[in-house]
Amino acid sequence: MKCEICHKADAEKAIQRGEGDDADELYVCAACAKAERQRRQKKSQRTRKVTGLPPGVSMSVTEISSSGDGEEPPPILGAIMNAFNDMVSDLEKAKKAAEAKKTPKYSDFPMDSLDKAFRIGERLHLEGLHLIGELEAVKRALHALEMELVGVDADGVKDSGHVYAIRHACGAKTAERVAKAMLREERNARIRLFEELPRVFGDALCRALAVLKNCRLLSPGECFDLLSPMRLAASEDMLDGIGLAEIMRMADSIDLSGAEDKLSEQERDQADADRADEMNRRFEDVVLNERAEEKFL
């Protein structure tokens, strides 16, 4: 007897096709019997894409078939659908809330009202707070008050010279009050360096002086950074061979705009070499005076 489905191979097995009163018993070959079994499995349990999800969200679930008597599938599918809808709704609400939140408008704070002893040009000089390790805490405090310190990144040196412009979104009077409080903290930081942490300041000063005397290449950003502790030492009359006014002129003359980035590699190397030679010559005879030696040596 031939298979009642493919009518080619010999029948080997009896299977039931259909359900209830419409069920028929067929004699089929092994291959057709296997195919029919797989078809029934795919029908009762298959993975399909659920429709009705929000745009951009898709989900695949295993379909749970009913027994054919019209019963509803378990409520787990409805629960999953509701959970996904709620999640997408929450995400859309969060996105709209973020878009609706206005970014504070920051303004530059004028430096005219601040003591020149703590300024380099139009920026605040906070080397003391940097050396005692409190500068990051100051930045976080200002951020909470809708203020920020804007440093100079030049030639790979982050916050070169530790000089900063001040920007604020709070009121001008609040910004001025906070800026002056910050200057008091910088003054206290310098006192701590000279009185309590002379080794810390002496290390920064001696490293800077050694590089200025012996470097072979010196970028603008690095030169400006090295002059920062030198300025503190000169303001405390700790150097022989150079004064504060000359160090200030040197710092003011350094171009931190990145203009040398436009030069070729060879031209930049030559500019860095010339700058290094100039600093070598100028600081060759600069030494710590007796007052500094008492503190640092």
Encode the chain (297 residues) as per-residue pLDDT tens digits. Answer: 788 888 888 878 887 777 766 777 777 888 888 888 777 766 555 444 445 555 555 555 444 444 445 555 556 656 666 666 666 677 777 777 666 566 778 999 999 888 888 998 889 999 999 999 999 999 999 999 999 999 999 988 999 999 999 999 999 999 999 999 999 999 999 999 999 999 999 999 999 999 999 999 999 999 999 999 999 999 999 999 999 999 999 999 999 988 888 999 999 999 999 999 999 999 999 999 998 888 876
Phi (first) and psi of residue 160, to 5 degrees:
-55, 130
φ/ψ of 260, rounded to 5, equals -70, -10
What is the pLDDT, as a whole number, of residue 84?
A: 62
Q: Length of the chain, please?
A: 297
CA geometry: angle 130, 135, 138, nearest 5 deg: 155
pLDDT at 174: 92
Rounded Cα gap, residues 46 and 50, in angstroms? 12
Backbone angles phi, psi at 69, to 5 degrees: -105, 15
Q: Do residues 168 and 146 lie in contact, with contact meaning Cβ atoms separated by under 8 Å?
A: yes
Nearest partner of 223 among 197, 199, 251, judged by Cα: 251
- pTM (2 d.p.): 0.64
Q: Answer yes or no: are the C-beta atoms of 113 and 121 closer than 8 Å.
A: no
Amino acid at 100: A
Contacts of residue 178, Cβ cutoff 8 Å, sequence gap at least 6: 142, 145, 147, 168, 170
Range 230-233 contact pairs with CB under 8 angstroms and sequence separation of 24 or more: 230/205, 231/120, 231/125, 231/127, 232/127, 232/128, 232/190, 232/193, 232/201, 232/205, 233/205, 233/288, 233/292
